[in-house]
């Protein structure tokens, strides 16, 4: 099974001069060069950086956003994030679900509470559909101590540790995506009656 869309999550306040922004641009460029469509929330920061990276490689992009009312800290739509296709949702929860739905695999960069919520939903859904779920890549070495502490202090099951990889170099991301694709193909051969995971 080959993935089509790779969804990107991360810090909406990242600026073009920041290391994080530049890392996202580099990673997205490599992923898009492999023929994957980059999906993001249509906003600034990591979202915009992933679009710019994809465009640098001639890749396609999809933005999924919404127009909130009375939401104090929502980053909103960034008109400089020039996605090829824009999908507008009715609210934040629907938007998050659409991002998870569109992505066949996720890349999660450094971020705040919004990124944590996306990680939590990605991880929980991956376990629920274990064996035919949507995997994810955590980008950055800082994830190692975070995931070690979560595993040590919380009730994390063994199978939940099989659902993600931590990448520290851009090329690692592409390698892990291909490994996830191969694993899904192997699992489908073993369990041909299991339908691919869909939200």
Measure the CA–CA gap between 32 and 19, rounded to whole angstroms: 20
Residue from 87, 76, 78, 92 nearest 16 by CA: 78
Q: How high is the pLDDT of residue 168? A: 97
Within-domain flag for 196 = no
pLDDT band at 130 (very low <50, low <70, confident <90, very high): confident
Structural domain boundaries enclosing 65: 5-190
Within-domain flag for 195 = no
pTM: 0.91
CATH number at residue 134: 3.40.50.450
Q: How high is the pLDDT of residue 131? A: 74
- The model's pLDDT over 151-195, given as tens digits with 9 standing for 90+, comes to 999 998 888 888 899 999 999 999 999 999 998 776 666 656 655
Within-domain flag for 167 = yes
Within-domain flag for 160 = yes
Cβ–Cβ < 8 Å for 137, 164: yes
Domain count along the chain: 1
Within-domain flag for 146 = yes
List all residues 6 or more positions away from 36 whose beta carbon is below 8 Å from its beta carbon: 3, 4, 5, 6, 59, 177
Within-domain flag for 197 = no
Within-domain flag for 37 = yes
- The model's pLDDT over 10-56, given as tens digits with 9 standing for 90+, comes to 999 999 999 999 999 999 999 999 999 999 999 999 999 999 999 99
36, HSE (Cβ side, Cα atoms, 13 Å): 31
Within-domain flag for 198 = no
């Amino acid at each position: 099974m080959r993935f089509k869309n790779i969804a990107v999550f991360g810090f909406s306040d990242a600026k073009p001069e920041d290391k994080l922004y530049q890392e996202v641009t580099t990673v997205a460029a490599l992923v898009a060069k492999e023929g994957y469509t980059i999906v993001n929330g249509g906003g600034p920061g990591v979202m915009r950086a992933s679009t710019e990276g994809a465009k640098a490689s001639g890749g396609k992009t999809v933005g999924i956003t919404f127009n909130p009312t009375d939401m104090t800290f929502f980053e909103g739509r960034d008109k400089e994030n020039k996605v090829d296709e824009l999908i507008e949702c009715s609210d934040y929860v629907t938007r998050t679900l659409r991002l998870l739905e569109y992505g066949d695999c996720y890349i999660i960069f450094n971020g705040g509470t919004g990124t944590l919520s996306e990680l939590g939903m990605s991880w929980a859904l991956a376990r629920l559909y274990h064996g035919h779920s949507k995997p994810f890549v955590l980008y950055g070495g800082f994830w190692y101590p975070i995931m070690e502490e979560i595993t040590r202090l919380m009730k994390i099951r063994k199978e939940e540790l099989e659902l993600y990889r931590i990448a520290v170099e851009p090329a690692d991301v592409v390698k892990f995506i291909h490994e996830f694709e191969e694993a899904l193909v192997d699992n489908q051969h073993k369990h041909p009656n299991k339908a691919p995971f869909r939200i």
